[in-house]
A and B are shown apart, each in its own frame.
Chain A
């Protein structure tokens, strides 16, 4: 396959975290990673993070498009007693994904996909705003402002979740003033 098991493990972990930054759902992130690995495996690589990320991202876009075309009925929309009981039984039988482990996770969950992805690529993977601008074919200023707004939203969410959270009281020099008044509608 042209990659050692240790390198593959490292790549899988990075790919999983990237997928998680897109969907913010562990089972779905595992599915995305598995699909992407299968696609790469069928083409025999190349086993590089850039290719894996692109494949994961394309798969995620496909899923989003499909979800827009086909509207699935939610379990929770079934208001009947019978349906509610069945849902509860299922929940007891199936090991549901664990709840977010931290306030930061909850705050990140409230971000949009694009904002989370850019935060992940910029802060975790170390891409510069210039590289991201080239990658996503957007002006560098747009990338910078999106990241800036995303961080502001995270701070605001943290403050809402826990007013005493130290993260919500971080230095205000990076915190946009526009987001503090209405975090759900970035200017």
Chain B
């Protein structure tokens, strides 16, 4: 059936047609009935609207969504923390093994300036760091090594007459797994402390007996 109202202005040939049109045109829908239907339809619209509206949908599921998000965040954080710990363990194993070899420095130097002048292959300058004081402790020299497939410098530092620590420095690659900064590992009698300063990763390896005496930094 079509929806458009026909033109009713043109009179037809048969006056009965016009009379019937006129008759139906004067049959009104009563006001109470009209209002009742409007009320029913408004009620239907109000009943349906909250069920499909976005804010109500969200408000009902917000706690569940928040809980799921929190759980996902917790899982992600735990996974990253575990990966970071394993990354630190790998670095510590390399550092502890290298330190245990007690190799003599390739480039003897008493200060960082002369060492920087000799170890030109490094992609970063050697600088004083907070983890160990190179002025109060005696710098013996350095040599090249590799940490996490990146070129690294291992600096031999004499902290006391009978003990030599090894400081490793390298520029770690950016990774989703966070750098294990501030972590300390003990492997095969070697204490390894890892930290990061100015985008440079450091790992200080010392024998556990030396490490137990106290911090090497001033």
Q: Which residues of A line the B interface, CB within 8 A?
A: 1, 5, 8-9, 12-14, 16-17, 20-21, 26, 30, 33-34, 37-38, 41-42, 44, 48-50, 53-54, 102, 104-105, 108, 119-121, 123-127, 131, 135, 151, 154-155, 167, 170-171, 174
Contacts and interface: CB of A to CB of B under 8 A. Distances in A.
Contact of A123 (B3, B17, B36, B38): B17
A133 to B, nearest CB: 13
Interface residues of B, number: 32
Contacts of A1: 41, 45
A44 B24 CA distance: 28
Contacts of B15: 167, 170
Interface of B: 1-3, 5-8, 12, 14-17, 19-21, 23-25, 27-30, 33-34, 36-38, 40-41, 44-45, 48
Which 8 A-B pairs give the minimum distances between C-beta atoms?
Answer: A126-B6, A50-B1, A16-B29, A41-B44, A30-B33, A49-B3, A48-B3, A124-B24
B197 to A, nearest CB: 65
Contacts of B19: 104, 167
A167 B1 contact: no
Contacts, number: 100
A38 B40 contact: yes
Given A12-B29, A20-B27, A30-B29, A125 B6 contact: yes
B157 to A, nearest CB: 79
Contacts of B44: 38, 41-42
A49 B20 CA distance: 20
